[in-house]
Amino acid sequence: MTKGQDFLRIERVFDAPIELVWQMWTDPALFKKWYGPNGMTVPTAEMDLSVGGTRKVCMEIQSPDRTMTMWFTGVYKEVTAPRRLVYTESMCDPDGTILSPQSMGMPDGFPDITEVIVELVADGDQTKMTMVHVGVAEGTAGAGGWNQAFDKLAVLVQSERESTS
């Protein structure tokens, strides 16, 4: 992070082993079940989970008039299973071509490329997750979306854990 750069930091403790929380971030089928704010679905989650590998995610929401989609792409910078995941994130079109955030309605000054850092620490049968999104400020819609997604993640890991016990 550069000095003065906006960032969002969220810490959560999940009642699940670290391996399960890691899978939630790295298995596209599981990721699609929790990612995004309430009301949005994730029809596409492509992940080449290797350093230099790409990711592409589509979030979508239905309204009475139309379907709105938001596409994101990025590159994995660090993949250290099951403890640390670092990737870039940019808005894109369905083909993965990066779009300016302003062309998608974001305010001036919003960066073209942001960075997501996920750190997981095992604590018995629980996992502490720290997520930092560099380029997204506290108190923004992005922060609210992440918190809603992590609420969904907490429910999903509990459900997955109960179904395997």
Q: How far, CA to CA in Å, does 130 sit from each of 39, 52, 72?
A: 24, 22, 21
pLDDT for res 80: 98
β-pairing, 67-80 with 54-62? antiparallel
Residue 163 has pLDDT above 90, yes or no: no
pTM: 0.94
Q: Spelled out in words, what is the top-level CATH class assigned to the domain 7-164?
A: alpha beta
Q: How far, CA to CA in Å, does 138 sit from each of 12, 91, 141, 164?
A: 16, 19, 9, 36
- Give pLDDT tens digits for 62-112: 999 999 999 999 999 999 999 999 999 999 999 999 999 888 888 888 899
Considering the chain, what is the average pLDDT of its residues? 94
**Domain limits, the chain:** 7-164
